[in-house]
Amino acid sequence: MNNDSQLSNIDQTGLFDFKIVAQDGNARAGEFTTPHGVLQTPVFAPVGTQATVKAITPAQLEELSATLVLSNTYHLFLRPGDERVARMGGLHEFMQWHKPMLTDSGGFQVFSLSNMRKVDEDGVTFKSHIDGSMKRLTPESSIQIQENLGADIIMAFDECSDPNNRSYVEQAMERTHRWAQGCLDAKKRDDQALFGIVQGGIFDDLREQSARAISAMGFPGHAIGGLSVGETKAEMYHSIEVVNEVLPANKPRYLMGVGTPEDLIEGVLRGIDIFDCVLPTRLARHNSAMTMSGRLNMMNATFAEDRRPIDEQCTCYTCRTFTRAYLRHLIVAKEMLAATLLSIHNLHTLLQLARDLRQAIFEGHLQAFADEAMAKLNIPRTPER
Amino acid sequence: MNNDSQLSNIDQTGLFDFKIVAQDGNARAGEFTTPHGVLQTPVFAPVGTQATVKAITPAQLEELSATLVLSNTYHLFLRPGDERVARMGGLHEFMQWHKPMLTDSGGFQVFSLSNMRKVDEDGVTFKSHIDGSMKRLTPESSIQIQENLGADIIMAFDECSDPNNRSYVEQAMERTHRWAQGCLDAKKRDDQALFGIVQGGIFDDLREQSARAISAMGFPGHAIGGLSVGETKAEMYHSIEVVNEVLPANKPRYLMGVGTPEDLIEGVLRGIDIFDCVLPTRLARHNSAMTMSGRLNMMNATFAEDRRPIDEQCTCYTCRTFTRAYLRHLIVAKEMLAATLLSIHNLHTLLQLARDLRQAIFEGHLQAFADEAMAKLNIPRTPER
């Protein structure tokens, strides 16, 4: 099913390389070389929407052993502007993150955040959520913006649609394919890997068709878009299987916007290499701690004098240092430090899970790891087909 | 003028000790031993009102080489409650700050924060600013609360008054003296040093009278209260001189709630050893950067593409790492990280200034240092009498 016979060397520049170093069923452990370092996959990418992972310094991210950080083209295009970021030396330099970075294309945000959007064959016109001004993104301008930002991995501009409405999904998918080619044609920088995005909603035939069309274009890596947006978990996991059967195995696979512990586990089992999600930092700002045995609302009065850390197994700075009682106090007292400490903990949970999944692949017992972890999370496994 | 002939050994327990290791005019460099370590004075104490220095982790405070941290009795009494803090192991353990701590007495906050306060001979009844409930603080309960919190340095309960209204100032001062004795009598823990507070507004004779009365009570250290609350700078500096002529030179002197660069300089010149202020962290949350050449409003549009750090001379994490352009972006984008990075910088400015003043005392050129620093700040020096 591969349209590329080489196992590494995913592009012509030699700057990018993807090597599968261990396999367990459909799951893979890889080494994805980028101009800013090697990603050990599976990897979870914290999201730094506005060129900052909210409430966290780059030094704290380093301490978490984070590697890949995602930032949002839509937000940076609007503020402070991609040309300004370019004049400041690019995104790595601007936000002082010197490890690999990924920018999305703006497609998803245009459809989820802006009002009054109008899609035409060449792009999308929309109203800025910041100042109400009219803006436009096209495959060509999205690439131009992402070249100005300068992330290592950039994404094709795609149209996201309600995953259940077949005629719209089909139309959006076909446009996404034409735009993917437009992105490839527009790309000028050699030091960025452009990933194609598979769409197709919850329809197997469309997902398969999209995976074939995108695979055929020769992208160095592929993403699965349009999931985790309203479909059931079973539908999402099934779609991943359908797509990954088509996508070339020797190139990295990125499941966009997905980041619960259970989705990382089920995704890795189905051959996903890269994940990103705002969930850990967003939940942190809403007082929720993610653990491998479920979420804790840290404002809960039962924690008022609880001297345990959030998670006795966890090795993050927050759990090594502070009690639940203190964290609850910070939340009740509306102290900013609560968001910082919970963000550190939640990010650690997902970063460590990705590392543990990688280790389980090396050791060849991923199924047992997954069964045990899902049982602890108290979530039924969704068996692979 | 000293009522104590020993230069160190400021109390009977042997847990506290104050040694003057260098002098330059009225200024002194000291070593103040406490149960949680030695303070190199002059020292600036960041304020952690609600058991957290806002927007900063203890690890970041350590990286700033902060030593003494202040926390507020009034706030912790109301939330989470001093008894709860005691059950959690005390304030050091609760907030995970293992270096010296100081708590104020709640006196100042009762007078500045609460509504509907009623002072009587035995204490103050007031309405909580949090839930509107009626609360009461007395010299005895303030000490009890501070013993529950467990800071190294605790403060006598005092009455703060409008510094210009002589008859009220006199009445409040006399009550403060009676309360000071009440605090001494109420104190039970040996591992805390209780400081007496000198009041007296802007009236030289009252300040002198208060300094004599408080000095005579045998406290191991003394504070000057009721300054920086509306009087002129000249009046404040003059009051410090009047009081310090009376206070025993061999015990530490603490100027409460004062923390601009110019006030640290003028205070140290007049023999102050300890300062605290919310200013650096509060200004940080209002986008203002403190430097030794004045304040910068970091939201200023002129910084939009300024690649310099806040202060090219500064060695803090923020200045070593980030541009003004990036900090401005964080502020404009309403990102929490702005408050964290500016708090780090502003605290560094005052912590470093205190270290530089100490060094200048050792080198015997404090006057020259002060003249140069004040010229750079563009603030006229206020000569000592």
Q: Is the pLDDT of residue B116 over 80?
A: no
How many CB atoms lie under 10 A from the CB of residue B40? 17
* pLDDT at B230 (0 to 100): 83
Check: CB of residue B224 under 8 Å from CB of residue B198: yes
Mean pLDDT of chain B: 95
Q: Which residue of A has its CA nearest to B335?
A: A54
Tell me whether B326 touches chain A (CB under 8 Å).
yes
What gap in Å lies between CA A280 and CA A347, rounded to an integer?
Answer: 6
What gap in Å lies between CA B49 and CA B108, rounded to an integer?
Answer: 13
CA distance B335 to chain A (A): 7
Tokens of A125: 């016109």
Phi, psi of A228 (to 5 degrees): 60, 35
Q: Identify residue B55 by its one-letter amino acid code.
A: A
Catalytic positions of A? 104, 276
Check: CB of residue B220 under 8 Å from CB of residue B10: yes
Check: CB of residue A339 under 8 Å from CB of residue A285: yes
8-state DSSP, B279: H
What gap in Å lies between CA A283 and CA B335, rounded to an integer?
Answer: 16
For chain A, give the number of residues: 385
Tell me whether A188 touches chain B (CB under 8 Å).
no
What gap in Å lies between CA A152 and CA A99, rounded to an integer?
Answer: 9
A87–B337 C-beta distance less than 8 A: no
Phi, psi of A350 (to 5 degrees): -75, -35
Residues in Cβ contact with B343 at an 8 Å cutoff, skipping those fewer than 6 apart: B53, B54, B55, B56, B280, B281, B284, B285
Within 8 A of A95 by CB-CB distance, chain B residues are 326
A336–B57 C-beta distance less than 8 A: no
What gap in Å lies between CA B110 and CA B93, rounded to an integer?
Answer: 26
Closest CA to B108 of B237, B283, B277, B273: B277
Task: Please tell me the CATH code under which domain A20-278 is placed.
Answer: 3.20.20.105
B17-278 CATH fold: TIM Barrel (3.20.20)
What gap in Å lies between CA A357 and CA A363, rounded to an integer?
Answer: 10
Tell me whether B340 touches chain A (CB under 8 Å).
yes
Closest CA to B305 of A140, A81, A147: A81
With vertex at residue A180, the alpha carbon angle to CA A174 and CA A185, rounded to the nearest 5 degrees, is 135
Residue A160 pLDDT grade (very low, low, confident, very high; cuts 50, 70, 90): confident
What are the percentages of helix, strand and coil residues in chain A, rounded to 5?
40, 20, 40
8-state DSSP, B52: S
For chain B, give the number of residues: 385
What gap in Å lies between CA B71 and CA B248, rounded to an integer?
Answer: 26
Give the relative orientation of helices A166-186 and A139-149 as an angle to the nearest 10 degrees.
50
Check: CB of residue A49 under 8 Å from CB of residue A38: no
User: A-B interface: how many C-beta pairs under 8 angstroms?
Assistant: 108
Within 8 A of A51 by CB-CB distance, chain B residues are 326, 329
Q: Express as a percent the part of chain B with pLDDT over 90.
A: 89
What gap in Å lies between CA B232 and CA B227, rounded to an integer?
Answer: 9
Check: CB of residue A100 under 8 Å from CB of residue A129: no
Q: Is the pLDDT of residue B164 over 90?
A: no
Tell me whether B130 touches chain A (CB under 8 Å).
no
8-state DSSP, A44: E
Closest CA to B63 of B285, B343, B265, B303: B343
A326–B88 C-beta distance less than 8 A: yes
CA distance A67 to chain B (A): 18
Closest CA to A152 of A252, A52, A53, A282: A252
B95–A337 C-beta distance less than 8 A: no
How are beta strands B193-198 and B153-155 bridged, if at all?
A: parallel
Q: Which strand (E) or helix (H) includes residue B289?
A: strand B288-291
Check: CB of residue B382 under 8 Å from CB of residue B237: yes
Q: Is the pLDDT of residue A33 over 70?
A: yes
Q: What is the arithmetic mean of pLDDT over B357-374?
A: 98
Q: Is the pLDDT of residue A204 over 90?
A: yes
Residue B4 pLDDT grade (very low, low, confident, very high; cuts 50, 70, 90): very low
For A338, the 3-state DSSP assignment is helix
8-state DSSP, B99: S
Q: What is the largest CA-CA distance in chain B?
A: 60
Within 8 A of B303 by CB-CB distance, chain A residues are none
**B58, B79, B88 member nearest A323 (Cβ):** B88
What gap in Å lies between CA B249 and CA B241, rounded to an integer?
Answer: 12
Q: Is the pLDDT of residue B6 over 80?
A: no
Q: Which residue of A has its CA nearest to B301?
A: A80
Check: CB of residue A12 under 8 Å from CB of residue A232: no
Residue B84 pLDDT grade (very low, low, confident, very high; cuts 50, 70, 90): very high
Tokens of B327: 């900090």
More confident residue, A364 or A1: A364
B336–A54 C-beta distance less than 8 A: yes
B54–A335 C-beta distance less than 8 A: yes
Tell me whether B305 touches chain A (CB under 8 Å).
yes
Tell me whether A88 touches chain B (CB under 8 Å).
yes
How many CB atoms lie under 10 A from the CB of residue B355? 15
Tell me how far the alpha carbon of residue B375 is from its chain's centroid: 25
**B23 has which bridge partners?**
B28
What are the percentages of helix, strand and coil residues in chain B, rounded to 5?
40, 20, 40
* pLDDT at B222 (0 to 100): 98
Residues in Cβ contact with B238 at an 8 Å cutoff, skipping those fewer than 6 apart: B204, B385
Domain spans in chain B, listed from the N-terminal domain onward:
17-278
Tell me how far the alpha carbon of residue B45 is from its chain's centroid: 6
What gap in Å lies between CA B86 and CA B64, rounded to an integer?
Answer: 28
Check: CB of residue A382 under 8 Å from CB of residue A266: yes
User: pLDDT tens across A222-240, in order?
Assistant: 999 998 888 899 999 999 9
Residue B174, sorted as left (phi over 0), alpha (psi -120 to 50) or beta, turns out to be alpha
What gap in Å lies between CA B64 and CA B62, rounded to an integer?
Answer: 5
What gap in Å lies between CA A67 and CA A34, rounded to an integer?
Answer: 11
Q: What is the arithmetic mean of pLDDT over B335-353?
A: 98
Q: Identify residue B105 by its one-letter amino acid code.
A: S
Residue B8 pLDDT grade (very low, low, confident, very high; cuts 50, 70, 90): low
What gap in Å lies between CA A204 and CA A223, rounded to an integer?
Answer: 16
Q: Express as a percent the part of chain A with pLDDT over 90.
A: 89
Tokens of B242: 């009047």
User: pLDDT tens across A166-193, in order?
Assistant: 999 999 999 999 999 999 999 999 999 9
Q: What is the arithmetic mean of pLDDT over B169-178?
A: 96
Residues in Cβ contact with A191 at an 8 Å cutoff, skipping those fewer than 6 apart: A13, A15, A35, A152
Q: What is the arithmetic mean of pLDDT over A266-273?
A: 98
Q: Which strand (E) or helix (H) includes residue B118?
A: strand B115-120
* Least confident stretch, B63-72, B112-121, B165-174: B112-121
Catalytic positions of B? 104, 276
Q: Is the pLDDT of residue A3 over 60?
A: no
Give the relative orientation of helices B233-246 and B204-215 as an angle to the nearest 10 degrees.
40
B57–A94 C-beta distance less than 8 A: no
Q: Which residue of B has its CA nearest to A87?
A: B305
Tell me whether A269 touches chain B (CB under 8 Å).
no
Residues in Cβ contact with B385 at an 8 Å cutoff, skipping those fewer than 6 apart: B238, B241
* pLDDT at A8 (0 to 100): 62
